[in-house]
Amino acid sequence: MASKNLKLLTNPLNNENPITVQVLGICSALAVTVQVKPALIMAISVTVVTGFSNLIIASIRNTIPPRIRIIVQLVVIAALVIIVDQLLKAYVYDVSKKLSVFVGLIITNCIIMGRLEAFAMANKPWESFIDGIGNGFGYGLILVIVSVFRELLGSGSLLGYQLIPESLYQLGYKDNGMMILPPMALITVGILIWIQRSKNRKLIER
Amino acid sequence: MNVQSNSYTFIYSSIIVIVVATLLALAATALKPAQDRNVEIEKKQNILSSVRVNSTRENVQKLYDQYITDSYTINNKGDKIKGIDPFTINLREEIKKPQKKRNLPVFECIINDSAFLIIPVYGKGLWGPVWGYVSLVKEKPSRADSAIYIPYKKIYGAIFDHKGETPGLGAEINQPFFQIPFRNKAIFNDKGRFISIKVVKGGADPSSLNEVDAISGGTITSKGVQAMLDTCLISYQTYFKSSKK
């Protein structure tokens, strides 16, 4: 892979992270990070959808009338998500049940439209596809980090397995109920942004 | 071609709408049979798990035929209504009707000589519908007990599910830790009055007749389950009390 393309894939993980730098997709980052498992499912779904909607839009970018481009983008995203959802419902019913609540969230996820508008409308299909996948990963990375903290401190478990031993609870340790609530997700994201910017001063706005 | 022109914009949007609509319609119709089959399998699995029978997608039909001995539709007086398939009743429509007009599905089940009734329930959670299956075990009359005899009074098992409750909060109603406490609770008190099940905030008394723990952070969903059980089961009370079966 050319180094330019590799950059498209790795930049969103850090310096151009969709959540902590572009501040897109915060809404779903708050909603699905109570536990690690839904966060992972959401991350995978968003990665697939950003990748392919970027690919489709980049392929037809020169034909799209500029005045209705947002509508065209939205139609492509919505159609893609619904077709995938129908396929899952027919062939992998269990996964589709887990995704149920997220399907709507994927369509309205600002990252997807943000990448279509900022990248796919001006670049070739292959680069756009890689950019979409990279941004999906960057989004997923933050989602997983936030959900690890929230599930571990809020429920004492990871991926549903109890990690904090029973003996600790008997000593008086209690799960922090605040972690389950959305405000703590916002604060966790805030702390991540803080850590990232203190390490990488280029990101600090003047 | 001028992509800025009005006519181009109109033609472009018409074409994209037609293409996308065709794709969606094709996907929906082609996949419908497979989806319906999944829904049917899931319903049968749910019915079985409400009487604590675990099934897989492969053996569900065999177990269903083995344990579910009869199914029929009744009205709120407990009389059977002919010609309505209980398996396909749309509960969402039924619970909107006044009690007298409801078509109530009943599934009968026999496991190791114990008789059970399985009742589907349907209601509202926080974001969308919640539903479930409740099984009641038939009890024998005991002479020593002065309480009024009601054959189907005790819950044997309950399972719930939801369309889109909050993950980690309301969505937990489909987890065993919420469902298991419903077992052995009674829906009638000793005087034979219908009391349904109450969800309690801050710790239910385990010895209580009809109280179970609500989910912290999932209060509206928990209350939804409570309301669902009340509205759905109340129509059956005459049937549960009568010992025709």
Instruction: Give residue-wise pLDDT tens across range A76-86.
Output: 999 988 888 88
- Higher local confidence (pLDDT), B28 or A42: B28
Instruction: Give residue-wise pLDDT tens across range B67-83.
Output: 988 888 988 888 888 88
Q: How far apart are CA A150 and CA B97, in angstroms?
A: 43
- Higher local confidence (pLDDT), A71 or A155: A71
Confidence label for B245 from pLDDT (cuts 50, 70 and 90): very low
ipTM confidence score = 0.70
Q: Has residue A3 been placed in a domain?
A: no
Q: Has residue A151 been placed in a domain?
A: yes
Q: Are B9 and A68 inside 8 Å of each other by CB?
A: yes
Q: What secondary structure letter does DSSP report for B146? A: -
Measure CA B3 to chain center. 54
Taking contacts as CB-CB distances below 8 angstroms, the residues of chain A near B8 are: 65
Taking contacts as CB-CB distances below 8 angstroms, the residues of chain B near A67 are: 4, 9
B35 → closest Cβ in A38, A68, A90? A90
Q: How far apart are CA A146 and CA A30, in angstroms?
A: 9
Q: Has residue A4 been placed in a domain?
A: no
Q: Has residue A206 been placed in a domain?
A: no
Is residue B19 over pLDDT 90? yes
Q: How far apart are CA B226 and CA B198, in angstroms?
A: 6
Q: Has residue A72 been placed in a domain?
A: yes
Q: Has residue A33 been placed in a domain?
A: yes
Q: CB within 8 A of A10, min separation 6: which ones? A: A134
Mean of the pLDDT values across residues A114-142? 89
One-letter amino acid of A105: L
Look at residue B147 and give its three-state secondary structure: coil
Q: How far is CA B233 from CA B85, B105, B229, in A?
A: 19, 11, 6
| Structural domain that includes position A167 | 19-198
| Residue B85, Cβ density class (10 Å: 0-12 exposed, 13-18 middle, ≥19 buried) | exposed
Instruction: Give residue-wise pLDDT tens across range A86-125.
Output: 888 888 887 777 666 677 778 878 888 888 888 888 889 9
Q: Are B166 and A63 inside 8 Å of each other by CB?
A: no
Instruction: Give residue-wise pLDDT tens across range B138-150.
Output: 887 766 666 678 8
* A159 conformational bin, left if phi > 0, alpha if psi -120 to 50, beta if neither: left
Q: Are A34 and B17 inside 8 Å of each other by CB?
A: no
Query: H helices of chain A, where?
Result: 3-10, 26-31, 36-59, 69-91, 93-107, 110-115, 125-155, 166-170, 182-199
Q: Are A67 and B164 inside 8 Å of each other by CB?
A: no
Q: Has residue A170 been placed in a domain?
A: yes
Q: Are B12 and A71 inside 8 Å of each other by CB?
A: no
Q: Has residue A203 been placed in a domain?
A: no
| The total number of structural domains that make up chain A | 1
Q: Are B42 and A93 inside 8 Å of each other by CB?
A: yes
B24 → closest Cβ in A72, A83, A101? A83
Taking contacts as CB-CB distances below 8 angstroms, the residues of chain A near B164 are: 100-101
Instruction: Give residue-wise pLDDT tens across range A117-126.
Output: 888 888 899 9
Query: H helices of chain B, where?
Result: 6-50, 60-67, 91-94, 176-179, 219-234, 237-241
